[in-house]
Amino acid sequence: MSEYHRPIMVEEVLEGLDIRPGGIYFDGTAGGGGHSFAILASDPTVHLIATDKDEDAIKEVTQRLSPYAGRFKLYRTDFKNYQEVFSDAGVGQIDGYLLDLGISSHQIDTSSRGFAYMSDDAPLDMRMDNRASLTAEAVVNEYSEDALLRILRDYGEETFAPSIVRRIVTARQQGRITTCGALRAIVEASVPARYRYNACARKTFQAIRIEVNGEMEGLEECVQGLTRRLKPGGRGCILTFHSLEDRIVKNVFRSMSQGCTCPKSFPVCVCGKKQEVTLVGNKPRTAGEAEQRENSRSKSAKLRIVQKVE
């Protein structure tokens, strides 16, 4: 297995996709190609369309999937651009899709990418796509106090957001904040002593990363649109790693699984809403104990699955 990124819950994903012979599948977050490889390896007749906006990921996936040349198409773009991708690939409907919304091991472990709060000298970058102009450094140093507060509250669900933001604003008046270590020190100084621990900056870094990469923007519409591209009986699988994205996915899937919403007192339906999918399982699946022991990053993963109505 490639050391670039260890894919989460591979067997559960394959089971969730319920691979069909001759099917066309979409891996919107290819990462190191682990899930893509497993999909292609599962049946010699399936085809895959994969996307990732990270240049390093594209290089890794191209090499990883080389044994299956001719059965996959790879695009360097955001999965939210699936409509353009499908159009270019000449595909209308698909048999299944996977979105792994987590950050890759490679991105975390490569200190120069600026994702890891424990990397003292790493630059505040956090871009998944190095072609993008917005960096974490720009967010931290150039966003208004109100904007920073909104980001930490909405995207990080950070209890101590007001204190952290005040210290950021004070610190940047003395000089630009440019490293992960400098930002982490500010966060640690902002948190009451009894709440200080190695990962107390995690929520702040998560919030800024989400802002830099626009992770929440258009996610609801994308999940809905991708699900509507499924063929009857096709499966949609989404891996989430924090409550914000999981809530969006859960709500979209739940809404699409419900039919008429008219009051029971109405003699006929006037809303016109039809059930589009069925939920595969009442609760999200989680990684097994063995995987959680071997890969701590799998502990927060939740896998939600839907099937398009026949």
Asked if residue 116 belongs to a domain, the reply is yes
182 domain-assigned: yes
CA distance 131 to 256: 35
User: 28-79 pLDDT, tens per residue?
Assistant: 999 999 999 999 999 999 999 999 999 999 999 999 999 999 999 999 999 9
Provide the domain count of the chain: 2
CATH of the domain at 80: 3.40.50.150
pTM score, two decimals? 0.92
The answer as to whether 262 is a domain residue is yes
For residue 230, how many C-alpha atoms fall within 13 Å in the half-sphere facing its CB? 29
Among 213, 241, 269, where does a domain finish? 213
Contact 116, 108 (CB under 8 A): yes
- What one-letter code names the amino acid at 268? V
Which single residue is written with the structure tokens 């208004």? 144
Q: Does 92 share its domain with 241?
A: yes
Mind listing the pLDDT tens digit for each residue in 175-209?
999 999 999 999 999 999 887 776 789 999 999 99
Q: Structural domain of residue 224, as residue ranges?
A: 10-101+218-308
Q: Are 224 and 249 in contact (CB under 8 A)?
A: no
Q: Is residue 242 part of a domain?
A: yes
Here the tokens at position 39 are: 């999909």
Structural domain includes residue 1: no
- Give the span between the Cα atoms of 108 and 210, in whole angstroms: 14
User: Tell me, what DSSP letter sits at residue 71?
Assistant: S
